[in-house]
Structure 1
Amino acid sequence: MKIDLNADLGEGFGVWSLGDDLALLDIVTSANVACGFHAGDPLIIRRTCAAAVDRGVSIGAQVSYRDLAGFGRREIDMDPEELCSEVMYQIAAVDGIARAMGGRVSYVKPHGALYNRICRDVVQAEAVVAAVADYGPAAGGSLPVLTLPGSAVHPIAERYGVPTVSECFADRAYTPAGTLLPRREIGAVLHDPDEVAARAVRMARDGVVTAVDGTDVRVDARSVCVHGDTPGAVALAEAVRDALVGAGVGVESFA
């Protein structure tokens, strides 16, 4: 039994830093690197990619809406061709820097509002998948897309020949429908390391998580996410990895 452990990294901007990227890169197996649209800038992308390559951590392009002020957490209605082009632009930017640092982008993970939107919106989901498919030859092959189980992305990606990888979230609350509880709701983000670690083990080993109404929801996943911008993110990630290993679950990248 094996599972990937991913985190959102490189989410500072200019003189502003967010999270302890270097400490998290010593724990996770995949790094979702902000592409500059919701956070990140060329210097931060370069440093994050270089550090990931040094540690053998897989690099993913964390594409988002163009929303620096809102940290990519506000939905934007966009023309599909424009969204497709902006997603491709972001993948290319991080992949180019990653290659200069000796690595490459090996998967794509949408961020924030875009992530949640394309789980239900087939038009925007197709725009994102089309961008990944179009960039595939430049990447040397199809790039997998990280998304929720049951997401609208899965059937669209299959049609385009783009692989998908289902993920679960150790530090986020779930609705009974298997979606993430919106951040504006109380209790949407979990902070207790023991609780987060126990949820991660149950999701990895049993494929279930308890939703906010007390019911169990299926979350068959190959990757588990811990957010890099959550307060105490390093302690949470350490607790999750230690608990997974202690439960006999191998922690390694899917890429």
Structure 2
Amino acid sequence: MQIDLNADLGEGAPYDRELLAIISSANISCGLHAGNASTLATAIRLSLARGVCIGAHPSFPDREHFGRRCMALPFDSLRHHLLSQLHALNKQVQAHGGSLQHIKPHGALYNQAATDAGLAQNIVRIVQEFDPQLCIVGLASGKLLAAAREREMPVLQEAFADRRYAPDGTLLPRSDPRALIYDAQEALEQCLQIITRQCVNTVDGSLYPLHADTLCLHGDSPAALVFAQHLHAGLQAEGIEIRPAHRKKLV
């Protein structure tokens, strides 16, 4: 049994180096919601040194709100912002001798694409224009992956270690006080349930069927590193191998 662990890097959080000893895939900020040239270059260099798969983590143009503000961009504007982020990050990754393996939208872009079929289709069109081999990471039950499958793009179904789920399989919004899991053991139990039973408990007590190829560990909280270390150790103790779920090409 195996699972991919991913985390968002290059955003200026203090634990990137330590998280890279735990994860198998890195979603590297493209600089529009957080991070700068230095944090991005460091994240790329350290990821490649660790053999961790590198993916792009683009966002809406919303640095003020860390990319978590919902936006309604016309297609041309969305295309401009996504392609500029992808090309800029790809140039840096290639300069370090690597290649982009996947794309995972950030924040509001991720959440909106999970429920808005039109936005999801537009994102997939743009990503396919950039690189039809690039794997698209999205919420397991969401519209983004459905749109990617329609266009025969490779996908990874994602679940979250530290987020609670609504009965329809979507994530509770961060505005809901129940949205985040702060207890590392509870998060580990949720991960094990997803991996071994392919379902997850929702906030109303029901079970939602959930197959995940990759699990997200957030690295932007004060306890993020201890949290991630507990999950990593717990998964290994259960004999679950942590490895990338997708490699487009050798890095």
For Structure 1 versus Structure 2, the TM-score category normalised by the shorter chain is over 0.9
Q: Which runs of 4+ in 1 moved over 2 A?
A: 158-161
Any gaps of 5 or more consecutive residues in structure 2? 247-251
1:86-165 alignment to 2 at 5 Å? 86-136=81-131, 142-165=133-156
**Aligned-pair CA distance for 1:39:** 0.7
1:15 aligned residue: none
Secondary structure of residue in 1 paired with 2:54: strand
In 2: Cα distance, 1:167 partner to 1:231 partner? 23
In 1: Cα distance, 2:55 partner to 2:123 partner? 15
Moved more, 60-69 or 79-88: 79-88
Q: Give 1:2's aligned amino acid.
A: Q
In 2: Cα distance, 1:230 partner to 1:114 partner? 21
Q: Give 2:240's aligned amino acid.
A: V
1:51-76 Cα offsets, whole Å, 9 max, x none, are 00011111110011010000000111
Any gaps of 5 or more consecutive residues in structure 1? 13-17
Kept after mapping to 1: 8 A contact 2:69/2:108? yes
In 1: Cα distance, 2:199 partner to 2:53 partner? 26
In 2: Cα distance, 1:57 partner to 1:147 partner? 19
Q: Give 2:59's aligned amino acid.
A: S
1:11-160 alignment to 2 at 5 Å? 11-12=11-12, 18-136=13-131, 142-160=133-151
**Aligned-pair CA distance for 1:187:** 2.2
Secondary structure of residue in 2 paired with 1:59: strand
Kept after mapping to 2: 8 A contact 1:174/1:211? yes
1:181-214 Cα offsets, whole Å, 9 max, x none, are 1001102111111111111111111111111111
2:9 aligned residue: 9
**Aligned-pair CA distance for 1:142:** 0.8
**Aligned-pair CA distance for 1:134:** 0.7
Moved more, 61-70 or 209-218: 209-218
Secondary structure of residue in 1 paired with 2:215: strand
In 2: Cα distance, 1:19 partner to 1:229 partner? 8
2:239 aligned residue: 248
Kept after mapping to 2: 8 A contact 1:197/1:236? no
Moved more, 2-11 or 228-237: 228-237
Q: Could you tell me the percent identity over the aligned residues?
A: 35
Q: Give 1:3's aligned amino acid.
A: I
The counterpart of 1:210, out of the listed 201, 213, 218, is 201
In 2: Cα distance, 1:47 partner to 1:143 partner? 22
In 2: Cα distance, 1:131 partner to 1:239 partner? 37
In 2: Cα distance, 1:198 partner to 1:8 partner? 22
1:110-138 Cα offsets, whole Å, 9 max, x none, are 111110101111221122111210111xx
In 2: Cα distance, 1:206 partner to 1:249 partner? 13
Q: Give 2:79's aligned amino acid.
A: C
Q: Give 2:11's aligned amino acid.
A: E
In 1: Cα distance, 2:76 partner to 2:115 partner? 18
TM-score, with length taken from structure 1: 0.93
1:219 aligned residue: 210
In 1: Cα distance, 2:137 partner to 2:127 partner? 12
In 1: Cα distance, 2:227 partner to 2:14 partner? 12
Q: Give 1:252's aligned amino acid.
A: R
1:191 aligned residue: 182
Kept after mapping to 2: 8 A contact 1:132/1:162? no
